[in-house]
């Protein structure tokens, strides 16, 4: 793997390690060429951030690029309220709080703190149900922190040649199934 990992790889890698190769391969193409409906709906949740329409307040950091030298990660945070010191990751709908959601906000947290921002609170926000889910800081959840660090390490050391067996359910829901040579659907 390259030295710095896009934060978006964390969730992809949990879904299927091989998918990060297709993600990297096709990131330079128009996303509409290979994205499917769930991905496009998720992206629309971030549209107001990407177009800077969420807030004009000076104490809201949005569409902000972050990186971590320690974990070799980079990406963009969703919303950071400088006043309340709360970092928020918005999702279109939250049916279950997957580990990937937690690791994504951890990654944003580590990037921001490494860049000297004082982050005190983390939260996931469900846009459809207007519901907020507080997330413990990594220092308050050692098990998830260890899992996060193992995930980053696994991605850094992953080889496409490693033995891997997918499931039909995953391949059927994978946006790269038409491109993947071991897809089983």
Query: At closest approach, how far in Å is the CB of 175 from ligand SF4?
Result: 8
Q: In the 8-state DSSP scheme, what is residue 22?
A: H
Q: Does 176 bind ligand SF4 (CB under 6 A)?
A: yes
Query: At closest approach, how far in Å is the CB of 115 from ligand SF4?
Result: 32
Nearest CB to ligand SF4, comparing residues 51 and 167 = 167
What end-to-end distance do the CA atoms of the chain give, in Å? 27
Nearest CB to ligand SF4, comparing residues 144 and 185 = 185
Quick one: how far is CA 53 from the chain centroid? 21
For 114, counting Cβ atoms within 10 Å of its Cβ (0-12 exposed, 13-18 middle, 19+ buried), the class is middle
Q: Kindly identify the residues of this chain, within the stretch 111-170, that bind ligand SF4 according to CB under 6 A.
A: 166, 170
Residue of the chain from 7, 10, 16, 49 that contacts ligand SF4 (CB under 6 A): 16
Piece of the chain touching ligand SF4 by CB under 6 A; list 86-94, 110-118, 128-136, 173-181: 173-181
Nearest CB to ligand SF4, comparing residues 25 and 97 = 25
Nearest CB to ligand SF4, comparing residues 80 and 176 = 176
Quick one: how far is CA 6 from the chain centroid? 8
Strands 73-81 vs 121-126: parallel, antiparallel or unpaired: unpaired
- The DSSP result for 79-122, as a single string, is EEETTTTEEEEEES--SS--HHHHHHHHHHHHHHHHTT----EE
Binding site for ligand SF4 (CB under 6 A): 16, 18-19, 166, 170-171, 174, 176-177, 180, 182-183
């Amino acid at each position: 793997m390259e030295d710095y990992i896009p934060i978006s790889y964390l969730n992809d890698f949990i879904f299927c390690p091989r998918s990060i190769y297709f993600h990297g391969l096709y990131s330079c193409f128009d996303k509409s060429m290979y994205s499917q409906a769930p991905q496009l709906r998720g992206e629309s949740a971030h549209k107001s951030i990407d177009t800077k329409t969420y807030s004009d307040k000076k104490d809201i950091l949005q569409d902000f690029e972050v990186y971590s030298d320690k974990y070799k990660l980079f990406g963009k945070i969703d919303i950071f309220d400088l006043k309340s010191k709360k970092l928020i990751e918005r999702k279109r709908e939250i049916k279950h709080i997957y580990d990937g959601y937690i690791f994504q906000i951890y990654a944003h947290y580590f990037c921001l703190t490494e860049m000297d921002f004082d982050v005190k609170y983390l939260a996931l926000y469900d846009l459809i149900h207007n519901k907020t889910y507080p997330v413990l800081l990594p220092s308050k959840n050692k098990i998830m922190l260890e899992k996060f660090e193992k995930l980053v390490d696994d991605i850094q050391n992953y080889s496409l040649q490693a033995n891997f067996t997918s499931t039909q359910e995953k391949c059927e829901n994978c946006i790269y199934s038409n491109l993947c040579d071991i897809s089983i659907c």
